[in-house]
Amino acid sequence: RNNQEKFVNDGEIARTIGDLFDLRPAAIIEKFGLKKPIYEVTAAYGHMGRDPFTMEVEVCKNGEFVKENVQFFGWEKLDAVESIKQSFGL
């Protein structure tokens, strides 16, 4: 139920989420940096319920090693909470 005590059905939820977020695979890969070297760090001790952080890591680009800031646990950010609440009338 939302603030107006209106039930929101599954179809409405799906449409609203689809309007709020780009759920295409390429967009998800880009948003969470899934092609970045995050897996060694995120694979240990569970990958949910962790605080997001950025760390400088060495990556290989065009055959050369360079330092790059990489976001870890970006899926734990709460940056969409207000837009979700507003969209659902919560």
Nearest in space to 72 (alpha carbons), one of 61, 9, 44: 44
Q: What is the pLDDT of residue 21?
A: 96
* Residue 20 burial class via C-beta count within 10 angstroms: exposed 0-12, middle 13-18, buried 19 and up: middle
Start-to-end CA span in the chain (Å): 8
CB 57 within 8 Å of CB 37: yes
Q: What is the pLDDT of residue 69?
A: 93
Q: What is the pLDDT of residue 46?
A: 72
pTM, full prediction: 0.71
Helices 81-88 and 10-20: crossing angle in degrees, nearest 10, is 140
Q: What is the pLDDT of residue 47?
A: 73
**Mean pLDDT, 10 residues at a time, over the chain (90 residues)?**
77 94 96 87 80 91 92 92 92
